[in-house]
Amino acid sequence: MQNKAVLYIIFSTFLFALMNVCIKMIPGIPSYEIVFFRSVISFVLSAVLLYRLKLNPFRKGNKLFLIIRGLSGSVALLLFFYTLQNLPLATAVTIQYLAPIFTVIFASFILKEKMQWQQWCFFLISFAGILLIKGFDPRVSVEMLLLGVFAAICSGISYNAVRRAKDDEPAVVVVFYLPLITVPLVGPYCAMHWVQPDGLEWLYLMAVGVITQFAQYYLTRAYQMEKASSVANYTYLGVLFALLLGYFIFGERFDMLAIVGMITVIIGVILNFLFVNRVTTARRFMAYIRHFPGI
């Protein structure tokens, strides 16, 4: 089960990297409009799939966490897309990839997933990396940094809501609630401040919606199958994808200290991953030997 969840999260991360490239390709379209297009396409695709699977997304049950997932996910999207258009690709993605840290932190309160003191140290290492990026990259303003961090916080809340709803709702229903809430939330403002897409911009907007739908599905499945602390760290591969795509497609360059900051973020994540795996393995071993007589 864990290996399958890991494959899902890696594939989802790659799809999100492609989505980020599409967004960077349309700097003339406001972030709220991109979010709106993405949500409309996701809404239609999810509704079709729900119809084919004969699933009722409005059946009786506790919808609180689905609504929280929709609201927090909408805010996270708006802020992240905005920073994505105003920062280098790898920088915006690295800041957003604080989300797994907030996911694990919030999981300790919302889902009662116990955290060890060592994990706090690893998280501080990752935050130090973010500060290095800000301090040595003049393209990163304090405003953009704070908006990016808040987007990551909202994503952490959203991912925990996804995991909290895992026993009550199928993955496609969880995915459906994000556009269900985002469209009416963003739609009125979008209509009043409409910017007409032109030519290839339409293609990129459609690609954002379609690619994200698949990415969201596999992300949701991964969080439903495994603990947040076990799979969240793999999303940091998105930083590597962003560096490569930013370099080859947009010609983005970084000085050594900014790259050191990104590496520092990754180091903190890897240390946390290794620690969680060690603790999990030890607990499973102890649970196993307790089955033997006399132990």
Q: pLDDT of 147-205, one tens digit each? A: 999 999 999 898 888 877 766 788 788 888 999 999 999 999 999 999 999 989 999 99
- Strand ranges (E), 54-159: none
Share of the chain above pLDDT 90, in %: 29
Q: pLDDT of 110-150, one tens digit each? A: 777 777 778 788 888 887 887 777 666 778 888 998 999 99
Q: For 218-234, what is the mean pLDDT?
A: 74
pTM as predicted: 0.78
**Averaged confidence pLDDT in the chain:** 83
* pLDDT tier, 294 (very low <50, low <70, confident <90, very high otherwise): very low
Q: What is the pLDDT of residue 205?
A: 92
Checking if the pLDDT of 282 tops 60, the result is no
Alpha carbons 94 and 237: distance in angstroms, whole number: 10
